[in-house]
Structure 1
């Protein structure tokens, strides 16, 4: 046999026995790590050189394939083990750690890590690492378009880099480069974790020395990445299911609470409606709300008068000043509620939690005040209170309707009681007794003159504050109060209170003692006289003005025309020359046309009075002291003085009757 090519010619090994050569060849084929001399063993079997070379090449190829298959067997065993763990383990984080750790062992890398992809920000953040020595690397976030990770995401395929510092310059980023340098990374391989076409993350292996990754490395890492994808997708699905379950629980809880609140609202509304239908009052509304909402409740009308209260803590809250709450924040809340019709809550920590104004159209009728309770008011609770406010409006309107009917009946009784027809008066007394009112005792009369647009309201207000028993109604353009003796003593207080609530002028007229029906005509004349004189905000007694009321039955323009024609020239003369002819004329009239007594009353010399009388002759005409003209002038003087005195009394400058 010839020498095998490549053998050293200077040294010859002793030939192997055939049995030893066969044993060596078997060891070389079955053990890829064996260092057996395959060509020598083939030569020992007596084969020629060409056959030795051919068999040696085949054995070498078989050894490589056997090594590949054994490595593949090991990889498949690892993958099967990972799959079994996927089926048995429920902790996603632990599974990812095991997968990364197995990739680290199988790939023989220095650093292995998994980065999860955020589709919202398109960033990748390191989630699990093995072999990392830098804390900053574990907190690394990769911006979109940077680093090897972004390239893997964009191309959705495995990519490797032999020397990272020489990686594409446009993909370098300072934070990534610093983290890679801290770890000493040179070579890297990354493969995507995919679910359908969606990228979930990237699985990386890296070495601190230069290393060329093979397609087999990429395939193995991809298989492990697929397992990691299952874990991530399962974890995301579980999180989504958990969120859906939590949201379902919350929705169910909200629905249950809503149903409880709705049932409570329906129960409250049913009770309130029953209260209206069965003749309940504001106390029923307040008590029902207080019980159901577990908080104090107060109701007041627009003028601030308390209507009802339930619970403790709001006794003074509903008290208003001039029709509005004294507290500015409360006032704003009431106004906002009156505009919107909704519950307005207060956040100032005071005793009032919220207010709801109740109204009829544009007319604000009153307010519901809610105190603070043990729980916050829900939207359903708010609607409940708003419904209660509507019930309050219905109750108030119902009461007003009943009151209006009562006022109309009272007005008819008053009209008949003040009639000059005795039969009508007897019939009115009988009707009054049938209604529980003995009008035979009503011998006191107070007439009130208010502006026409205020009469209806004035009747309602007067009926609330009039002494009990009494009759209040509108008759012949006046608000009339018929009551028992003693009404006269309260007349001025009554008139002032009515003017205050009306925020307008009120003229009160009291007749003298006697049958009201006989005295009412003089009351009417006195009212017309006061109105003719321009007096509209005081209390007068008819006995002080009987002469004037008997003579004058004119309206304001006629009275003004009479005084202007009679005394106008005298007043103009005084104004232009700063004289006192009107004062002298008044003294002359009051002292029986005697110049001497007039001078004495004025503390003047009689000649001064005579000189002024001569001037009056020029102003009034020479015949003014004749019987007819003097009567008209003296009457005008007294009426002018009366008007002046009454207007002064209305302004608070004193009060008195006519001279």
Structure 2
């Protein structure tokens, strides 16, 4: 702490500010910061100077809280990693359940935890508990009807209450109420234990104080439940194997083979989980799993985009293209310029190949499915899920159908892939606050030096001196929090930045094609939300201080698209035609002219023809070839042949109202540019 010596002023306030930084570096208690501000006031600091020091104190406390939250998240992830490693060991079921309940209680820092599994008669029995318990003991039968456990099982999702006996939002059971009252419990959370599409039981945690569970705590419990469910199923498999070995004493060889297979599955599963939790690359995990399964592997996300594949997995061209064989088009452009509606979007129709079908079938079935690939191989697919969320699909391609052990291993590999994808998402979310602040400054704080912004970008692996585009999207429904989480993951995956501005999501993405970037964002986010997404895009730019202008241009494109009735589509200045020219702050007349009549200009230059003059005369004469021929002093057949050539160059719709308007505007701009330059190309 500082003493109050010296007169208040810039020098003394600077000493107090430095002292606050020292407190921040030492992770001092919050009251020390308050004491420092009080000392400054007693030393004579007042007015604006004291206000600045108090503001510095508040920012320091905010940074301290940010560090504390990060340490808490890191501690939670570290505890989850340790738990996952514990669960990979071989236990009997009762020992495993004891490990799970102890880890759950320690992970959440609560008073009690227990796990219930269905018994032989269908009744739910407490198989293990941890913490001081007098009523909830091993063998306690959980009554049917009511309670948080039944809700969690019915919803296949965690359910919690901050104060069980005072919560009327669900149906309670008197027998359960009596037990809760006897234990003195208040806050309770129930998480279903599910493996593939079957329910295994319920994991509970509880505290004797009123407590509101945070989203990251619910996420940790969901991840723990997923790992616990796999471990329980694996342990049951081990126990069934041991039972079979004991019963099949007459066939020692088969029993040994079965035991070896189980040990192999357990070892591979443990290795893959440790690889995922250790921060390894998804491609490394897929290569290791491919060697164990004896086939080629592919991981796809929920919209059909390849996330990782082994080198020997066939490409799209190696699978039969049912839609192409039937003469169907893979995609078509939608643009209704005649009515003034400009959507600028592409409707992609998925090709009905065996690979596409089996990915859809796997999620529809909620478990592994198998089919022939039409090229001499067999495809096996398993959905990749994290809790109740679909993360993608794992596809195995082999020369023959997989055996039972391979199918079991395929499911275990899918769980390891899910852990890997969730870990990647957690990393993106952890860095999201810092990345969001950078894009906020790029968009709103214009006085920051470009060099400083570029340096901040490099620290986040974002090179702002390379070409980037801006995409502004507006979800037309769905969960805003889910859209924001997806945007953070998407921007992190592409080495870009994300910022949420009201109901809009702003993405700064590397590349030169704003229209293509907008369509990719729209396609993925629409699939995630299950609702349409409208987007505007602009760029590219290579200057940090130019990003604000590009953002405003993209926002105007989004506003124009909305005004034109193009909700659910995307647009950039180039796709909006002459509207894009008007909306852009840096009007590129040459680019607009080239997009409208560029092929005609090039043809005249290369062939020394007069198609441009013919086009001008045609519009001047009211679209009459005969009158145009009179103006040009040529035969009408000559004009007709030139118009046919123009149709070949500009496309069959150049005379339709919307495109004809752009052609005429381009002709006028081209002529005006040459007149202003003192030349005449006629």
Query: Is TM more than 0.5 here?
Result: no
Greater relative contact order, per chain length (Cα 8 Å cut-off, separation 6+): 2
- Short-chain TM bin: 0.3 to 0.5
Could you state the TM-score of these two structures normalised by the residue count of structure 1? 0.39
* TM-score, with length taken from structure 2: 0.37
Report the structure number with the largest CA radius of gyration: 1
